[in-house]
Structure 1
Amino acid sequence: MSDQGRIVLAGVPLGNVGDATERLRDALATADVIAAEDTRRARRLASDLGVAPVGQIVRYDDVTEVRHTDGLRDRAAAGATVLLVTDGGMPSVSDPGYRLVAAAIAADVPVSVLPGPSAVTTALALSGLPSARFCFEGFPPREPGKRRSTYAALAQEPRTLVFFESPKRIGKSLEDAAAAFGADRPAAVCRELTKTHEEVRRGTLGALAEWAAGGLLGEITVVVGGAPPPRADDVPEPAELARRVSLAEAGGLGHTDAMRFVANAVGVSKNVVYDAVVAAKRN
């Protein structure tokens, strides 16, 4: 393997080409291979930056990632510099890249990163919500039932949460989040970050769900405040816990998901809810 062969992950502008670094310009101009989530966007970015790539530009997206990973790794192992770019932000963060990095590491192929913009940290900073500890959850499931279960499992997460969401699903997604986290939970919806029509709307999940009910345009990042610590005197009696599980099941959740939903909503372990359901059946 050549000492110069490597995989390079490059963070690219979210929308404002002025955020590109000189290192990104140099990498686009000199890489032997540019693996791009969208080859047209990669060529447009290079053109906007006044760069004429000398390397081959190949498609590397969700559809082609599995079948192209080994080939790109092998080209790097043979001495090529393979530059990976996505449509915006950092590869591997809810975008292609993880498989290629894992394959390169397994084959002892060097991997490096050109730091750049990130929608996750940009939205977090703009939200005004606590940022010392946070977790990124990517895109919530498309299916309503799975999405509600995902939110239910996160209802008592104390860290600030960051999600991506489709503009078509944002209204229903916020509605489901309000139901799981509480309509009064603080949140922010960040749309078209760094672009001409950038918008940040802050408020409660209930208010934001009403605002976005008809859908929004553009790329969207949602930031949700973490759950406040539960108070001991807020925990319902076992019979009430069992009743809430029954209601959750009647609403469409499976038995296990219903218990998890109630446990997260109340702030107790699932074992406490399980014991309550067993006791209710005995009685």
Structure 2
Amino acid sequence: MSGATALLPALLGGAADRQAELEAADRAIRAPLALSRRVGFVQLVGGVGASTTVAAVAALIAVRRRGAVLAVDAAAGPRSLRWHAGLGTTAPPPADARRTRPQSQADALAGLPITDAGVAVLDGHAEDDLAITETAWAEHVAPLARFCPVVCTDWGVRGAGADLGGVAAASSTVCVVTRSDRSALERALAAAEAVRALPNGPDVVVAAVDVGRTGGRLPVGFGADVGVPVVRVPFEPARRALRPVHGADCSSATRAALIRLAAAVMTPGGNRR
């Protein structure tokens, strides 16, 4: 059994309510999907751990589900999704013509590197500046989505307004990744409300990463009145290492939080009014 596959049993040794919660989260991740799940991860400012979060969530989903999980790097920066997924910093492979008009899952994933967890990674930096426009995302990724039950995209830093509107249009769920201090979380919740209010708006989840170890100062239930799920992810010292962080490197509290987050983004209609 791999470290990723063995992750859940290792977490289920606590109180009965904790076990029940994590078992329910695991069922949500594994549940059949009527349509492909397109999850867009976005941050309003840099340095909050969005790429790390995308890589971890995509890996958790991949080891729990049948069918391909595609992770798309549409962000800028040297510590890209590709790096966090454990694929290094070497130049990505050139585009494969079979992905232009795929007729099968093999075509959709042709030429893409696959991580140990089973995640196929599409690096937008090699494909016509995918990191810049949502239109390019639609051109390159939409044809692949019908062969990939789950698509997780790292959009990087996007501002309010049109930027988030474009991300919302490409997503069935938008996950806003933010620091867990009060001011940052309030901005993230405001952005989440704006995305959810769009016509045919997607589901929205907020991932509050305790980068500055300030999350403990917030009252329990902060933001619950907004109706948007807020999943708190603890500070993880392993993230300071000059290498990608895998599930086995993280604390049990971090792994539990990431399972909760994966379940939240995989639950259709989880925060509809």
**Structures share fold, TM-score greater than 0.5:** no
Specify the structure having the higher radius of gyration (Cα).
1
User: TM-score normalized by structure 1?
Assistant: 0.30
Q: Normalising by the residue count of structure 2, what TM-score does the alignment of the two structures yield?
A: 0.31
Identify the structure with bigger relative contact order (alpha carbons < 8 Å, sequence gap 6+).
2
